[in-house]
Structure 1
């Protein structure tokens, strides 16, 4: 009976004695070995593109996978005669790690780490099962860092493309269902593209510009900076500035004394507001341009069949197919960015887009019958 079977778990770092096991068990252990090696490779490839703390975290994750690898290698008594390939998901992560942004790879790795194969594996130690759960939280934290770094421009691009797909598909299908000539459907689609893209760009510009103006009005200004050298280090109101903005009394006093001491010593910069006082929200023009281009890139897809001369049911079927593929792509992207299962979000996005198109198509049929 092994230590794990008897209820006594092996200490971290100890290696189990080689086990004979059945042929099925040994194949399973070899698969675990291949998967652990592949996962370590993913983390090393991600670490190679990072610096500082994130690189160190990823390298330590790779080391942890190496400990698990050593466990299965010892259990097998050495390299198996036939080494299986790692799972498809892990191989895909390894391929993506060197070619795509780490946010997408980490989001997929987060989902993969959430499904530990060791929960029902009696040959895995309790420490290994615990490691897998902690790995999920570590990867979740790294992915969260990446999500926070995503600019408003990128988010506007993703959602702008989706809005263009759905709104213009609904428009051309609704117009087409009324029985008008194909060239009218085409012109309506192009008009909808331009109107929607301009509306999205204008809305994004106003939103970002307003947010920046709001931050300008609420963040500490530089009006009092020139007075810092003249303040008494023991008797002044600078601490009240920090307390008014949410700091505790002791922290506010300590910061005020530090800032005034820097001003007295002539060290620069001596400022009331620290370098982290302003939240960067992105440029209004960049956000507007991004929204315009990506809405247009989405909105042009439903119009493509009519641009290339298709008409009637053939044009509708092709438009639905093209938009369906694009909706699946944007839905999967949103799922990745939110840490949710990509397939589930992709199917939800497809259902919403097709639902909107079906409703407008039926309304178009209704109006077409009424007009006739």
Structure 2
């Protein structure tokens, strides 16, 4: 077996002749780095400006890692391998969608880097992967902020519809009532719950936005700046109320007044930026939250009703409803896990456990009431 080429960084050179397992591992690392670089380049094609430049810089960094493994492998690099399944799936999604879901997946991929525990990787490569995770987290956060208001209403609405209507249907079924009564109850629960969720989300988001708007600086205040008493400089009180110390507030107020005399627009932008716009974006709009909540609650609540709509009855209908709801709970839990950067399987199982727990409790109560009434 030929010895590998000496790497540019002597500290990273293995102190022994590489084994077949080493060569195999390095080749897989090489394939993964190439696949990750391709993912970032594919994402960059769908972006413009700063985000595009950042993604291309990440691809360049993965290219440096690729060069390290090529140097270690030397003439043993062999025919290019495919990246691991996760990275290839990520690449497929990046080419097809290029969305926040892909960035969330890329964040998780960076967090799983094995370089910190592998002596054949340089310390700078391990550090790069840690930093890459934070870079991708920041990029994904922008998309999460845009999604969070409507997405929160959608996820909560769908899960509430699934769990509440499944629990309602199981409880009614366990009490021994006929299938047509269970179906009517399920449809009534769907409509009532969807309307309630939509109205509740509208009021909640509208109220939250009104609170944020009440805390947003009034742009008309700028008209008072030219007439302020420079010696008293009441503007310092504004900045002290926002949390600055007396000295910081005085210095900042003096700077704003000086800048206003030179460029009023620049002074206004310095005086009014406190993140309120980002908070509004994260909350979402009242109507979008209400409509999303209504639609997703209704779609979730429809799932446990489907067996009865197709004529199933008794235990068969109950089992089919529970299985269908379980599948959707797993899917929504996994999606939440992906978007949050957490483990999708754990989130999916948690969602399933909570939903089935509530439904089981209601089913037992239905059995109890059915026995008592009977």
Q: State the TM bucket, normalised to the shorter chain.
A: 0.7 to 0.9
Deviation (angstroms), 1:268:
4.6
Q: 1:111 aligns with which of 97, 108, 118?
A: 108
Deviation (angstroms), 1:177:
1.1
1:147 aligns with 2:106: no
When normalised by structure 2's length, the TM-score is: 0.87
Cα distance in 2 for residues equivalent to 1:24 and 1:363: 59
Residues 46-70 of structure 1: CA deviation (Å, up to 9, x unaligned) = 2222333333322222111111111
Deviation (angstroms), 1:146:
3.3
Residues 306-340 of structure 1: CA deviation (Å, up to 9, x unaligned) = 11222122212221121111101111122123221
What is the DSSP-based 3-state SS (H/G/I as helix, E as strand, rest coil) of the residue aligned with 2:272? Answer: coil
- Paired residues of 2:5 and 2:73 also in contact (CA < 8 A): no
Per the alignment, residue 274 of structure 1 pairs with: 272
1:215 aligns with 2:212: yes
Q: 1:166 aligns with which of 163, 180, 183?
A: 163
1:200 aligns with 2:197: yes
When normalised by structure 1's length, the TM-score is: 0.87
Q: 2:97 aligns with which of 100, 121, 124?
A: 100
Structure 1 residues 42 and 282: alpha-carbon distance in aligned structure 2, compared to 1, 3 A threshold: same
Deviation (angstroms), 1:4:
10
Alignment of 1:216-235 (within 5 A): 216-222=213-219, 224-235=221-232
Cα distance in 1 for residues equivalent to 2:249 and 2:103: 38
- Paired residues of 2:46 and 2:98 also in contact (CA < 8 A): no
Residues 176-199 of structure 1: CA deviation (Å, up to 9, x unaligned) = 111111111111111111111121
Cα distance in 2 for residues equivalent to 1:313 and 1:149: 43
Cα distance in 2 for residues equivalent to 1:175 and 1:63: 60
Cα distance in 1 for residues equivalent to 2:371 and 2:356: 22
Per the alignment, residue 295 of structure 1 pairs with: 297
Deviation (angstroms), 1:201:
1.4
Root mean square deviation of aligned Cα = 2.9
Per the alignment, residue 312 of structure 1 pairs with: 314
Structure 1 residues 85 and 187: alpha-carbon distance in aligned structure 2, compared to 1, 3 A threshold: same
Per the alignment, residue 13 of structure 1 pairs with: none
Per the alignment, residue 82 of structure 1 pairs with: 79
Cα distance in 1 for residues equivalent to 2:74 and 2:220: 72
Cα distance in 1 for residues equivalent to 2:133 and 2:268: 41
Residues 158-185 of structure 1: CA deviation (Å, up to 9, x unaligned) = 1111111111111111111111111111
Structure 1 residues 125 and 282: alpha-carbon distance in aligned structure 2, compared to 1, 3 A threshold: closer
Cα distance in 1 for residues equivalent to 2:99 and 2:368: 49
Higher mean displacement: 276-285 or 332-341 = 276-285
- Paired residues of 1:262 and 1:268 also in contact (CA < 8 A): no
Deviation (angstroms), 1:292:
0.9
- Paired residues of 1:161 and 1:297 also in contact (CA < 8 A): yes
Deviation (angstroms), 1:300:
0.8
* The structure with more helix, counted as a fraction of residues: 2
Cα distance in 1 for residues equivalent to 2:6 and 2:156: 50
Cα distance in 2 for residues equivalent to 1:216 and 1:116: 43
Cα distance in 2 for residues equivalent to 1:113 and 1:265: 47
Runs of 5+ unmatched residues, structure 1:
11-15
1:29 aligns with 2:26: yes
What is the DSSP-based 3-state SS (H/G/I as helix, E as strand, rest coil) of the residue aligned with 2:80? Answer: coil
- Paired residues of 1:328 and 1:350 also in contact (CA < 8 A): yes
- Paired residues of 1:209 and 1:284 also in contact (CA < 8 A): yes
Deviation (angstroms), 1:45:
1.6
- Paired residues of 1:106 and 1:143 also in contact (CA < 8 A): yes
Cα distance in 2 for residues equivalent to 1:226 and 1:22: 75
